[in-house]
Amino acid sequence: MTSPEVDLFAHYDFKLISLGEGWRICPGKNLGMLMAEVVLASLLYSFDWQLPSGLREENVSMEEASGITVHRKHAMCTQTKHVILDMLFWTYGK
């Protein structure tokens, strides 16, 4: 199975497929995607996000760096303030 005519998987590079595809797919892929969404939503709702003092929205670089994944060319710093949500402390039956 060394010739490309016989080897059906010769053109696939499975190292670059993060969670697999087809019958090799990761069974926890959907759970992982759901958990990532829950974590992001928790971070957004639990903190007040703002730029550091002296930095304006117009001055924030949104350039992307090239690579296999898309990420920011320059790191972004933020200031956060923890918010206690009243709805977390609601009790039923009062």
- Asked if the structure places residue 42 within a domain, the reply is yes
Structure-block tokens of residue 43? 């971070």
Cβ atoms of residues 40 and 50 within 8 Å = no
Supply the DSSP symbol for 57.
G
Point out the least confidently predicted range of 15-19, 39-43, 46-50, 64-68. Answer: 15-19
Q: Shortest CA distance to 45 belongs to which of 35, 53, 37?
A: 37
Q: Residue 34 domain-assigned?
A: yes
Locate the DSSP E strands across the chain. Answer: 47-50, 64-65, 71-72, 79-82
Continuous H helices in the chain: 29-46
Residue 3: inside a domain: no
Residues 73-94: what's their mean pLDDT?
72
| Segment 73-83 mean pLDDT | 85
* Global pTM value: 0.52
The total of structural domains in the chain comes to 1
| Residue 8 lies inside a defined structural domain of this protein | no
Per-chain mean pLDDT for the chain: 77
| Percentage of the chain exceeding pLDDT 90 | 7
Residue 45 lies in a domain: yes
pLDDT of residue 84: 73
- What was the pLDDT predicted at 34? 92
Domain enclosing residue 42, as ranges = 14-89
pLDDT, position 7: 60
